[in-house]
């Protein structure tokens, strides 16, 4: 019996459009992310707790609202409205940035920081919900790796476009570029909806009539009930602590080094471009072979060790090393740690997975940002230097690698022995 092709004839159109769709989503995000980061640099790390506090409150408020909407409305109604909403918001920020001196960088930064964080959360979540609704499980296994490549290319193209255009069109132009990319995503949504009507899944109601589903409070309850989910939440907090401290140090470095808004945006876009490029290399060359041969435990341990080594370099070389540390640790976080951590969710039942993952990846993550930046400011007030923050982050990185190893090995042993969950 001949092997089934990776893409069947009737799937080529859907895969190509989904590829472009994911490219546009991540490119749109990475075009405006440096704009957010330059505002953090403009006001300094002391304002980050305010930014994260507002983001945390907004996440708590909007996530149940989002869950209620996706549980009520079918895909064909809900998904395009989400993207139109963010396009309208993007356009509304254009005059705000033109009046930045009047509004103030701190106020505008808090608002835009929340906006970009919510943008990233919901726009990407909607994409994957759409994909899960569009393809059946067998198709997903074959096609999602190809579609994901579109997002990876978008994550490179976005900061590349920002670096190319920022000095030519300024912030307003970048917001328009991001809006145009989201507009292209909407075109892709309608094209995919038409395709799904022509290729229905046998025995199921039309896909564009299905609701996406969701549940916030169920996720919180399930996370508290499950020993594994509690440990995964703590593991995510340790990893987030490292990334957030590095982000705060990078914001201070950028603000002190680059005096203009455009220069700070260009610097932030460069960090994203190099980090995303290295992330792709790690995923292709290291992460997959490592996980296939040794499992996710080895990947998590390697991520913790790599971050600890880079932070040790920050202790030795001081603040100027922060750009290198940011690139390598961010690439490892998303190219090594996250695929390994996400693989652990495949070892629990679907109900637990769907309830808890979104809660941990949103609310727990944002709460961690708030706690870490508040502690960062407290220690800064007490006189802690950059090497001190690097040393504390090095401990968190090493702890993350050790804990990830322990959790994963415990799950593997329990699975091999057919024992109940003891983690």
To the nearest whole percent, how much of the chain has pLDDT over 90?
A: 39
**pLDDT of 207:** 46
If you ran DSSP here, which 8-state letter would residue 1 be given?
-
Helices marked H in 199-260: 217-225, 227-257
pLDDT at 203 over 70: no
Q: Could you tell me which of 137, 156, 147 has the C-alpha nearest to residue 17?
A: 147
In the structure, what pLDDT confidence band is assigned to residue 305 with cuts at 50, 70 and 90? very high
Crossing angle of helices 105-134/48-72, nearest 10°?
A: 30
Q: Do 412 and 326 meet the contact criterion of CB atoms below 8 Å apart?
A: no
pLDDT classification of 245: cutoffs 50, 70, 90:
very high
pLDDT, residue 81, reads: 86
Tracing tokens 């909007």 back to the chain, one arrives at 62
Q: What is the tens place of the pLDDT at every residue in 235-244?
A: 889 988 999 9
Confidence of residue 4 (pLDDT cuts 50, 70, 90): low
Classify residue 1 by burial, with Cβ atoms within 10 Å: 0-12, 13-18, 19+: exposed
Which range (77-81, 110-114, 211-215, 380-384) has the least confidence?
211-215
Q: What is the mean predicted confidence (pLDDT) over 263-285?
A: 93
pLDDT at 225: 81
Mean pLDDT, residues 385-390: 88
Backbone angles phi, psi at 260, to 5 degrees: -105, 160
The pTM assigned to this predicted structure is 0.83
Task: Identify the top-confidence range among 10-24, 61-75, 220-234.
Answer: 10-24
Residues near 405 by beta carbon (within 8 Å), at least 6 away in sequence: 297, 298, 300, 301
CA atoms within 13 A on the CB side of 180: 9
Domains of the chain: 1-214 (1.20.1250.20), 215-423 (1.20.1250.20)
CB atoms within 10 A of CB 224: 12
Residue 204 has pLDDT above 60, yes or no: no
Per-residue pLDDT of 86-122, as tens digits, reads 999 999 999 999 888 888 878 888 899 889 988 887 7
How many whole angstroms separate alpha carbon 121 and alpha carbon 261?
25
Cα angle: 66, vertex 68, 72; to 5 degrees: 115
Instruction: Give phi and psi for 122, each to the nearest 5.
Output: -85, -35
């Amino acid at each position: 019996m001949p092997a089934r092709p990776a893409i069947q004839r009737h799937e080529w159109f859907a895969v190509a459009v989904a590829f472009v769709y994911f490219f546009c989503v991540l490119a749109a995000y990475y075009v405006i992310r440096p704009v957010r980061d330059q505002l953090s640099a403009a006001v300094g790390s002391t304002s980050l707790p305010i930014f994260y506090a507002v983001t945390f409150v907004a996440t708590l408020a909007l996530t149940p609202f989002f869950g209620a909407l996706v549980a009520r409305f079918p895909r064909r109604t809900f998904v395009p409205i989400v993207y139109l909403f963010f396009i309208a918001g993007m356009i509304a920020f254009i005059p705000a940035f033109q009046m930045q001196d009047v509004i103030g960088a701190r106020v505008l930064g808090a608002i835009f920081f929340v906006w970009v964080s919510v943008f990233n959360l919901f726009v990407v979540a909607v994409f994957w919900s759409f994909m899960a609704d569009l393809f059946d499980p067998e198709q997903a296994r074959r096609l999602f790796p190809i579609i994901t490549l579109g997002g990876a290319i978008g994550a490179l193209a976005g900061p590349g476009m920002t670096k190319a255009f920022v000095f030519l069109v300024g912030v307003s132009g970048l917001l328009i570029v991001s809006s145009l990319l989201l507009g292209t995503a909407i075109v892709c949504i309608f094209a995919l909806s038409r395709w799904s009507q022509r290729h229905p899944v046998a025995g199921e109601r039309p896909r564009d009539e299905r609701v996406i589903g969701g549940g916030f409070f169920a996720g919180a309850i399930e996370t508290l009930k499950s020993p594994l989910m509690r440990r995964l939440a703590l593991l995510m907090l340790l990893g987030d602590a490292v990334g957030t401290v590095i982000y705060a140090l990078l914001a201070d470095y950028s603000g002190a080094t680059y005096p203009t808004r455009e220069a700070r945006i260009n610097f932030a876009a460069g960090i994203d471009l190099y980090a995303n490029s290295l992330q792709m290399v790690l995923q292709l060359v290291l992460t997959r072979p490592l996980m296939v041969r040794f499992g996710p435990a080895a990947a998590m341990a390697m991520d913790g060790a790599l971050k600890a080594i880079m932070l040790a370099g920050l202790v030795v070389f001081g603040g100027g090393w922060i750009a290198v540390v940011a690139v390598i640790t961010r690439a490892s976080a998303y190219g090594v740690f996250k695929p390994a951590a996400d693989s652990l969710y495949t070892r629990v039942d679907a109900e637990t997975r769907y309830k808890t993952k979104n809660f941990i990846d949103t609310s727990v993550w944002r709460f961690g940002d708030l706690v870490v930046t508040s502690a960062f400011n407290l220690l800064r007030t007490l006189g802690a230097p950059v090497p001190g923050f690097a040393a504390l982050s090095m401990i968190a990185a090493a702890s993350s690698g050790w804990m990830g190893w322990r959790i994963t090995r415990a799950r593997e042993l329990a699975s091999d022995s057919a024992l109940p969950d003891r983690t």
